[in-house]
Amino acid sequence: MSRLGTVLALIGIGLTFSACGYNTIPTLQEQAKARWSDVQNQYQRRADLIPNLVATVQGYAAQEKNVLTAVVEARAKATQITVNASDLSDPAKLKAFQDAQAQLTGALGRLLAVSENYPELKSNANFLALQSQLEGTENRISVARRDYIDAVRAYNTALRTFPTVIWAKTAFSGEKPMAEFTANEGSEKPPQVKF
């Protein structure tokens, strides 16, 4: 084989590998990990806002101490449970993280409901700004979770579809499907609003 033939063969092999999906699995895995980082970033943003919200409400609603305590405790628990990118294939760890965040969401809902009893608090500029930031953060969490779910779906699909399944069974045989978020128990029921 001549030198030109060897070079052409190497180029052919390189093109074959680049078009065969070998890079798809690590690319999709890294995209899913990046989306998970976005989710964690938004949850951290919420955790950082909570002390300010609690302090503002505390000034007006001293007798609502049990609600404030529940928010502080839920925040502490939610920030203690972490899921690293290496844990994304463990559904139990993701479920524990999700459950802690759901408890915090419920406690925040009760805290915001407290404001209904305090007209001065509802009109306080600091409270309104914090409430707006919190609502925006909840929306960002929702978007980040949706993006993570889409990225995980693409990655998990690549592990099971042709031609990437060939690489998943050989070169990437140690890679497991990543866990997705699931709806919390009872979330299919709309909340009851009473006036």
Is residue 137 assigned to a domain? yes
Q: Is 70 a domain residue?
A: yes
Distances (CA, A) of 178 to 10, 19, 94, 175: 35, 25, 10, 9
In a domain? residue 158: no
| Tally of domains in the chain | 1
Structural domain containing residue 119: 34-149
pLDDT for position 195: 32
In this structure, what are the phi and psi dihedrals at residue 171, rounded to the nearest 5 degrees? -65, -30
Residue 166 lies in a domain: no
164 within some domain: no
Output DSSP code: residue 184. P
| CATH code for position 115 | 1.20.1440.20
The confidence score (pLDDT) of residue 56 equals: 77
pLDDT tens for the chain, 195 residues: list them.
678 778 777 777 666 655 567 788 999 999 999 999 999 999 998 888 888 887 877 777 666 777 778 888 998 989 888 888 888 889 899 889 999 998 888 888 887 787 777 777 666 777 788 888 888 988 999 999 999 999 999 999 999 998 888 888 988 989 999 988 776 676 556 555 443
Task: Write the CB contacts of 88 (distance below 8 Å, at least 6 apart in sequence).
Answer: 32, 33, 36, 94, 152, 178, 179
Q: What is the pLDDT of residue 143?
A: 94
What is the distance of C-alpha 22 from the center of its chain?
27
Looking at residue 98, its amino acid is Q
Q: From residue 192, how far is each of 1, 187, 189, 195 by CA, in Å?
A: 78, 12, 9, 10
Q: Is the pTM of this model over 0.85?
A: no
Structural domain contains residue 144: yes
pLDDT of residue 122: 63
Checking 14-21 for CB contacts under 8 A at 24+ apart, the result is 20/163, 20/166, 20/167, 21/158, 21/163, 21/164, 21/166, 21/167
- What is the reported pLDDT for 141? 92
